[in-house]
Amino acid sequence: MTDITNWVTSAETRYLKDLTFQEARKSLQALSTIYVQRRDKLASGAALETKGKRAAFAFFYGPLHFLLVRHVVEALSAAEGTCAEIVDAGCGTGVAGAAWGSAFRKAPAIVGVDVDAWAVKEALWTYGFFNLAGSTQKASVDAVKWPDGGGLVAAYTVNELSDKARGRFIDQALRAKRCRTLVIEPIAKSPVPWWQEWSA
């Protein structure tokens, strides 16, 4: 856990150094409102439109998502054996790819893909902190190339796709026979009404 603790400490300095506690709290509340009550704003990039929201996204949600993904990886023994490459689809700040990649004895290369320019820059920082060979692409999830014999993680990503894009994603997932795939989502009915159909 030492690396994770050091990462959280470094992230606090990186993202909160120019914000007061009150500013950070207000930004977190605004970000949470978008994710829970105003999800129609997500497509326009509202979640990352201000420095405060970006800080809340990176420092509050980032560590939580890292720990959750690592727990899922360990519970599924998803880091056993070898893996040359993991694609981090809708990578945000790269925490899902870093959590999975750093769990392997021999770390794979990580390719982070996101539509947001700030996010892909921060993903590179995250991958680098965990000594992962990382690269990023500013692109939509539709542009993702599923690695043959590798892995793909989509954490808190599919719930932000349009119905059509989500349909294309599941079609690709079902065709990717030689790709380990982790889809991690909250299963509350409001943000993910489609989950029941997917899990059937």
Segment 165-176 shows an average pLDDT of: 87
Q: Where are the beta strands (DSSP E) in the chain?
A: 85-89, 109-114, 134-138, 151-155, 180-184
Question: According to the CATH classification, is domain 2-199 in 1.10.10.10?
Answer: no
pLDDT at 174: 82
Tell the burial category of 57 from Cβ atoms under 10 Å away from its Cβ (0-12, 13-18, 19+). buried
Res. 57 pLDDT band, cuts 50 70 90: confident
Query: Could you state, in order of their start, the residue ranges of all structural domains in the chain?
Result: 2-199
Res. 122 pLDDT band, cuts 50 70 90: very high
pLDDT in tens, 134-143: 999 999 998 8
pLDDT at 41: 65
Reply yes or no on whether the pLDDT at 187 is more than 90: no
> Mean of the per-residue pLDDT values for the chain?
87
